[in-house]
Chain A
Amino acid sequence: MNTICSIVPPHVLKRIATNGTERQRDRALRAMSMAGRMRERRQILGSLRFGYTPSGELSRTVYDAHRSEELPGTRARGEGDRAVDDVDVNEAYDGAGSTYDFYREVLDRNSIDDQGMRLDSSVHFSVDLDNAFWDGTQMVYGDGDGEIFERFTASIDVIGHEMTHGVTQYTAELEYRDQPGALNESNSDVFGSLVKQWSMKQTVEEADWLIGHGLLLPNIHGQALRSMKAPGTAYDDPVLGKDPQPDHMSRFVTTAADRGGVHINSGIPNRAFYLAATAIGGYAWEVAGKIWYTTLTQRLQGDSQFADAAAGTISVAGELYGDGSSEQEAVRNAWEEVGVLVAG
């Protein structure tokens, strides 16, 4: 810790935090955290996020919310800091790093906004919270209740899922309801799963295609929260109930809950991705991942429906690999198999 900053007057810290180099800024923000100047710190972070000059570097900070609902909490680990004595903090840090590396190396994207946006995460949010979420600027993780759910940092695809909500926010801006919302959720599952597959160097046959594997405690009858391979089969438990995801348009769920079933009907596009990726074979991120990413960032928009995602991925596959290519056929067949397109 540098003690110099803590004797610098607040207005100077503010100026450094706003205008300084990344290193200076980080120190100033840290000093403001230590000095309890959280409100000003948040304002500066907010404005930085808005007009942030690209650093081109990975810049992670993990905060501890100490079981409160105040964000971001106190700083627990910053970029380059050694591991700390808190597994949640280290998992959030490592998972953000793997996700950043995945986007950078595989998809040539520099962080959430493609401008090197800093990656902030808070752990220990609220009390025994069975959830993880993206708040529009950062990742947030609950501890889980300890009876059904583990801590939400325990599964790397959850971290990739939350960061991808940020990517979608900066690209397709898919509305968070009904089919656009289910596409928003599905893209988070697709890239969350790809982060895991890429970090473990798994082929399509080796991958488990599960979302949230390891989040359910051993006494719960279930292997994960969602299955991209077989939506609707991830869990079946007396307390949790049964996985409600459909695997085909004929079983599309019409509901007012969950903003029109955004976490439910995502099973349909999830399975389309699984089918396309396995038909193409090899590593899912190399071909299918690129097709889906190009579609998310260049074809989809706020009100896009499943049929738009199908048309978009088929046209992108044609551009990248040729019209009538086996890759394009694999994508078309996948959307037909889940009933989004009618075979013909």
Chain B
Amino acid sequence: MRVTVERSGGFAGITKTASVDRDALAPADAETMDELVRDVDDAAPIADAPSQERDRFEYSVTLETGDGLRTITASESQASPSLRRLIEWVVSTADRSGS
């Protein structure tokens, strides 16, 4: 399983990508990853509510599993808490492993 987070938009409009491959993780980290992904799966779908916000970050999270690809997109302020947790974890874990 692989999780890829793409952050785009914001005032600067710079797109950044971070990715974590479960196979490359230590067992404890892999378990954390499973939990975070399961939480996102369980969370209610994100409503794409009309918003007057401008220049916020946009997230696109791609979950790559044996069953295929699933992509969730959300503006920074509309992302569910569980999706935000997964995003933060992927970004910090990818930073740590330098990928």
Q: Using a CB–CB distance below 8 Å, which chain A residues touch chain B?
A: 130-137, 149, 152, 158, 161-162, 165, 169, 176, 184, 188, 212, 215, 225-226, 240-241, 244, 256-259, 262-264
A258→B8 contact, CB < 8 A: yes
B54→A184 contact, CB < 8 A: yes
Q: Which of A134, A256, A257 contacts B55 (CB 8 A)?
A: A134
B53→A132 contact, CB < 8 A: no
Q: Smallest distance from the beta carbon of B9 to chain A beta carbons, Å?
A: 4
By CB atoms of chain A within 10 A, which of B12, B51, B56, B57 has the most? B12
A257→B10 contact, CB < 8 A: no
Complex: A149 Cα to B53 Cα, angstroms: 22
A136→B55 contact, CB < 8 A: no
Chain A residue contacts of B57, Cβ below 8 A: 131
Chain A residue contacts of B6, Cβ below 8 A: 257
Q: Using a CB–CB distance below 8 Å, which chain B residues touch chain A?
A: 6, 8-15, 51-58, 60, 73
Chain A residue contacts of B11, Cβ below 8 A: 131-133, 152, 158, 161, 212, 225, 263
Give 8 CB contacts A-B under 8 Å. A131-B10, A132-B11, A133-B54, A165-B55, A169-B54, A212-B12, A225-B12, A258-B58
Chain A residue contacts of B12, Cβ below 8 A: 130-131, 149, 212, 215, 225, 263
Give the interface SS of chain B, mostly helix, strand, loop or mixed: loop
B9→A257 contact, CB < 8 A: yes
Chain A residue contacts of B55, Cβ below 8 A: 131-134, 161-162, 165, 263
Chain B residue contacts of A162, Cβ below 8 A: 54-55
A263→B53 contact, CB < 8 A: no
B54→A258 contact, CB < 8 A: no
B58→A257 contact, CB < 8 A: yes
Q: Which residue of A lies closest to B12 (CB)?
A: A225
B52→A136 contact, CB < 8 A: yes
Sorted nearest first, the 8 A-B pairs with minimum C-beta distance are: A263-B13, A136-B52, A257-B8, A133-B55, A165-B54, A258-B8, A134-B54, A258-B9
Chain A residue contacts of B14, Cβ below 8 A: 240-241
Chain A residue contacts of B60, Cβ below 8 A: 256-257
By CB atoms of chain A within 10 A, which of B6, B11, B53 has the most? B11
Complex: A212 Cα to B12 Cα, angstroms: 8
Q: Smallest distance from the beta carbon of B75 to chain A beta carbons, Å?
A: 9
Q: A133-B54, A136-B51, A263-B13 are in contact. List 20 more A-B contacts (CB 8 A).
A: A130-B12, A131-B11, A131-B55, A131-B57, A132-B11, A135-B52, A135-B53, A137-B52, A161-B11, A165-B55, A240-B14, A244-B13, A257-B9, A257-B58, A257-B60, A258-B15, A258-B58, A259-B9, A263-B10, A263-B11
Chain B residue contacts of A258, Cβ below 8 A: 8-9, 13, 15, 58
A133→B15 contact, CB < 8 A: no
By CB atoms of chain A within 10 A, which of B14, B57, B60 has the most? B14
Q: Which residue of B lies closest to A264 (CB)?
A: B13
B13→A225 contact, CB < 8 A: yes
A176→B54 contact, CB < 8 A: yes
Chain B residue contacts of A259, Cβ below 8 A: 9, 58
Chain B residue contacts of A136, Cβ below 8 A: 51-53
Q: Smallest distance from the beta carbon of B60 to chain A beta carbons, Å?
A: 7
Q: Smallest distance from the beta carbon of A144 to chain B beta carbons, Å?
A: 10
Q: Which residue of B lies closest to A132 (CB)?
A: B11
